[in-house]
Amino acid sequence: MERDQLETAAHRGEWRGGWRIVLAAMIGIGFGPGLMQNLSSLFTPSLTAAFGWSRGDIATAAGIGLFGALLVPLIGRQADRFGPRPVIVAATLVLSGGLCGIAATNGALWTYQLLVFVAALSIAGTSSVVYGRIIAPRFVRHRGIALGVATSGISITTLVFSPVIAAVIASHGWRAGFLALAGLAAFVGLPLVLLLLRGAATHQPERVPVPDNNMPEIVVGGMSGAEARRDPRFWRLGGAAALINVASVGLVTQLVPFGIDNGLRLDEAALLVTSFGAAQIVGRLAMGLLVDRFPAQRTAAAFAGVSAMAFAALLMPIPGTGALVASVFFAMLMYGAENDLLPYLTARLFGLRAYGETYGTLLTMALFGTAGGIVMFGRLHDSTGDYTIALCVAAGAMGSAALLFLTLTDRPTHGRGRAGYGDAAAGIKPTTAS
């Protein structure tokens, strides 16, 4: 009974002091470049009609754009050093500028590729690289659900704005659709984020006391970026994230054309994007709740196994729109969960000492998987006329990710000269009465 009361006190203390940061992260992530990626298939038919680009051309442009992810670790290091606000502002302005440039493109494919690359430079400053850096030290017992709620922002905006952007494109054209995304980022998302972060401590403290004197205090510790990269678990975690993105994002960018190929009307195919958004919300929140109570690695393996089976199901004839929507939902469940899981496991396994750099490097690996998946789905469709081979690769990649998660052991580790970390990697250290 006493333990339950202490847990309740810790829960209230964490959320009382941190809800504004979680809400800011929801909004910032929600209006980031992930929204453009998630809604990209809405633009594919219009771009094909306007410029004669194939699905593979458009997919390759998106894949090349994600080479901007090479700068993510560097930007993460700047967030570690200078704090998140300057990085958030700069990244949002870069994103909006890139989207406005795409809206003005004249049909030269290289111009489109360059502008997608510019927009991709904003990834680090509008993702868990920055926002997870703020959330992780504030939430220990409920870190999983806090990150799940924060990263669900992109799922919510995908659900809400998928029909809105589709209507804008239908009424005013694809250029207006890109301008709408730019306006949402610069004039809605950024002001709200800065307002919510006003007065909130966003630097990395050495200690974050929990409001109850009987509760432990959080001591920042962990590996340096170089130490993390020497740990084999780092590469297995990054490999799992890359495989998940190969499978999931490749299909996400082809959802509307995939639905049309399966006999759906355009409005019915748009429901697949809605299903993807719902899977993101459920995946993030469910993963966040579960990893606070059960072993994170086994939970991740179970989610990846479910998604692998759903990708295999998409290879079979699926009767009816409802069944296809449900199959897409379960195929995308792990992708939704992964966006919560990766920052959680980064803090858990490697600590907070160099969180921005470490998570930024892992995110770069994941984004190379994203680029590979986007190009693979588009080009294999162009060469074979359907998505069969791509879906086979996706199912195998997701199954391999499940196996990699099972190899991520929680061995105790200590950074030189820093507090120990192992469980939540925040280094929970009991206080003693004087």
> Is residue 301's pLDDT more than 90?
yes
- Among residues 112, 33, 42, which one has the least CA distance to residue 254? 42
Asked whether residue 100 carries a pLDDT value surpassing 60, the answer given is yes
pLDDT score, position 38: 77
**Which secondary-structure segment (H or E) carries 428?**
strand 428-429
pLDDT at 121: 82
CB-CB neighbours of 423 under 10 Å? 12
Mean pLDDT is lowest, of 203-207, 239-243, 344-348, 392-396, for: 203-207
- Tell me the two tokens of residue 67: 């080479």
How much is the pLDDT for 412? 52
The separation between the first and the last C-alpha atoms of the chain, rounded to the nearest angstrom, is 26
Identify the pLDDT of residue 199: 63
Instruction: Say what the pLDDT of residue 59 is.
Output: 74
Percent of the chain with pLDDT over 90: 27
Nearest Cα residue to 229 out of 366, 350, 387: 350
Instruction: Classify residue 82 as exposed, middle or buried by CB count within 10 Å of its CB (0-12, 13-18, 19+).
Output: exposed
Stretch 418-427: mean pLDDT, rounded? Answer: 39
- Over range 240-260, report the average pLDDT: 88
63 pLDDT band (50/70/90 cuts)?
low
Residue 248 reports pLDDT greater than 70: yes
Mean pLDDT computed over 104-132: 84
The yes-or-no verdict on residue 139 having pLDDT over 90 is no
Q: Work out the angle at residue 307's Cα, subtended by the Cα atoms of residues 301 and 308, and round it to the nearest 5 degrees.
A: 85
* pLDDT of 1 higher than 50: no
pTM: 0.69
Residue-level pLDDT at 191: 95
> Is the pLDDT at 408 greater than 60, yes or no?
yes
Per-residue pLDDT tens over the stretch 142-163: 777 888 788 788 878 888 898 8
Does residue 392 surpass a pLDDT of 90?
A: yes
Average pLDDT in the chain: 80
- In this predicted structure, the answer to whether residue 416 has a pLDDT above a threshold of 80 is no
pLDDT of residue 177: 95
**What length does the chain have?**
434
pLDDT top residue among 137 and 381:
381
pLDDT over 70 at 55, yes or no: yes
Per-residue tokens: 335: 């992708």
Torsion of CA 106, 111, 112, 118, to 10 degrees: -130
Q: Residue 84: what pLDDT?
A: 80
Q: Rounded distance, CA 391 to CA 312, Å? A: 7
Q: Find the DSSP H helices in 33-105.
A: 33-38, 40-51, 55-65, 72-82, 84-103
Most trustworthy range by pLDDT among 65-69, 116-120, 295-299: 295-299
The better pLDDT of the pair 136, 406 is held by 406
pLDDT at 417 over 70: no
Segment 289-316 shows an average pLDDT of: 91
